[in-house]
Structure 1
């Protein structure tokens, strides 16, 4: 039976960064986090109800849709290298946790009293400050020129709880993003429950999902760039498989959200849609409880009860009575 202490508010923010402009995108994240927290508290039964807010993949500060960075097999262009440098410059120095960029992100969680999960593009060329990277993510420094597609989890008090680098960038994403490692497979304990993040098509990796279930994920965050209607069914499957709440968040953007000189979208008018969205929140028996949201920016809010997580596992527990560890076993190298 649900009680007031079981209540959690789940939110996802479907919007666009100011692509390739980190400061403007940080300002937008700050504003949208405040708006999401306000909407969440309006839905809550108590001011103390914990809130989880998810932002999309690569929100800080661009998912470079359509851009090939001038690369073909055996050939690269000067223009493409210039765009890579521009992308690198608009990324977030995660290891500099006390620096201005990470402080802004951390304050977006702290000032609003929310657990914040946000997709960022990570650069690794600045000094490490605050917590050591091995405490919240991979101990691998990551190189001065490489960038990673990363999901950050920040606590209600502004502490960096987890930093997960995408294990396998998809298709031509591999040209510009490095690969993460097992140290970044983490689930963070929060007042809302155990929160974890798996990015976009990583969600199609059965063993990665199993690793998250083994770590006890209860609020499974799936920041994504996949705007196909079929994505919703995948999120429903994961919720049922893991008997967890799933929040999936995609960007919604138009041509005008990208720089005027962005070469990949020159054939589009400023108000034409580039990414449709499709953000959704799903319950542990696969029922859609908010969304999917299409063709507009917006914030989804769902009031849920953690007691339903145990109820859902009565007849299926993927890493418990249904695991058959005598037959099947997962090994994670971390």
Structure 2
């Protein structure tokens, strides 16, 4: 394993519902990170094509409106398939600039959308994805539920890389599963731009004795189309998400961020020796575990609703 990692966290907003323009923002930020000698670049949750902050899609209990269905149709049409020509484009960016990319996308699969994080390697390969297991509150109206088949942790030259999305980070059993997989570079793409978020990232870093890289959008009303019916109103300067991105070390020190109310690119050199230094006195799945008392069972089978048996 390499001794250091130059990691970058991107804080900016999507060009909402516009995949081409958002891809241009991805490339612009990866270029800027690579000029600072980055090796890994992390983007926020649902960055491509949009986290629809403030939309209600015309839904109330027992009722849906035609206007809300049309809003969903626009969202559905701007989502991407994984893999697809769009993930190929992201792979080209990763390859051209020799970066690992971790980026939140809205994945279209059949008639359902999923909040997904995809992982791309410096050779341009799509190495895997994680689908959000538990969309939060009204997110359940527009996104499906992931299952245990997409809980990957990947070996890289600088350690084991994984991602947990937004309020999944409040699921202690999911965190325990990631620690058991040996995650060392723990990415937390999010849409939670509250000042309290960084304390959770510090807790996770200390609990897992891992580096935590959290990316949140700095999103303004002006990043959305004119027809965007957000509850926050139509003032183009209205901030829909404040940011708050950060990089945290295994003993809880905040190395970069959090920054609010501005676009930012956080780049920091991570001393990978801190991973072992942190485990000296606490390893939640090792010498600090009590498997004689507590055990976690994780189902990593895909949960397909229909199974076809072959005719004999």
Bin the TM-score by the shorter chain: over 0.9
Partner of 1:45: none
Partner of 1:304: 270
Once the two structures are TM-superposed, the CA of residue 296 in structure 1 deviates from its matched residue by 0.2
Question: How far apart, in 2, do the equivalents of 1:203 and 1:295 lie?
Answer: 23
CA-to-aligned-CA distance 1:224-245 (integer Å, 9 cap, x gap):
0001111000000000000000
Query: Is the aligned partner of 1:26 residue 2:23?
Result: yes
Question: How far apart, in 1, do the equivalents of 2:75 and 2:145 lie?
Answer: 17
Question: 3-state SS of the aligned residue for 2:53?
Answer: coil
Partner of 1:16: 13
Query: Is the aligned partner of 1:88 residue 2:76?
Result: yes
Alignment of 1:1-334 (within 5 A): 5-41=2-38, 51-96=39-84, 100-124=85-109, 144-265=110-231, 267-334=233-300
Question: How far apart, in 2, do the equivalents of 1:295 and 1:120 lie?
Answer: 22
CA-to-aligned-CA distance 1:141-183 (integer Å, 9 cap, x gap):
xxx2100000011111111122100000000000000000001
Answer yes or no: is the 8 Å Cα contact 2:54–2:232 preserved in 1. Answer: no
Question: How far apart, in 2, do the equivalents of 1:186 and 1:318 lie?
Answer: 19
Once the two structures are TM-superposed, the CA of residue 186 in structure 1 deviates from its matched residue by 0.8
Answer yes or no: is the 8 Å Cα contact 2:49–2:105 preserved in 1. Answer: yes
Question: 3-state SS of the aligned residue for 1:39?
Answer: coil
Once the two structures are TM-superposed, the CA of residue 265 in structure 1 deviates from its matched residue by 4.7
Between 268-277 and 64-73, report the one with greater CA deviation: 268-277
TM-score with structure 2 setting the length: 0.94
Question: How far apart, in 1, do the equivalents of 2:64 and 2:104 lie?
Answer: 28
Where do 4+ consecutive residues of structure 1 move more than 6 Å? none
Question: How far apart, in 2, do the equivalents of 1:234 and 1:181 lie?
Answer: 24
Question: How far apart, in 2, do the equivalents of 1:265 and 1:259 lie?
Answer: 14
User: Which 5+ residue runs of structure 1 have no aligned equivalent?
Assistant: 42-50, 125-143
Aligned residues: 300
Question: How far apart, in 2, do the equivalents of 1:265 and 1:108 lie?
Answer: 35
Answer yes or no: is the 8 Å Cα contact 1:228–1:278 preserved in 2. Answer: yes
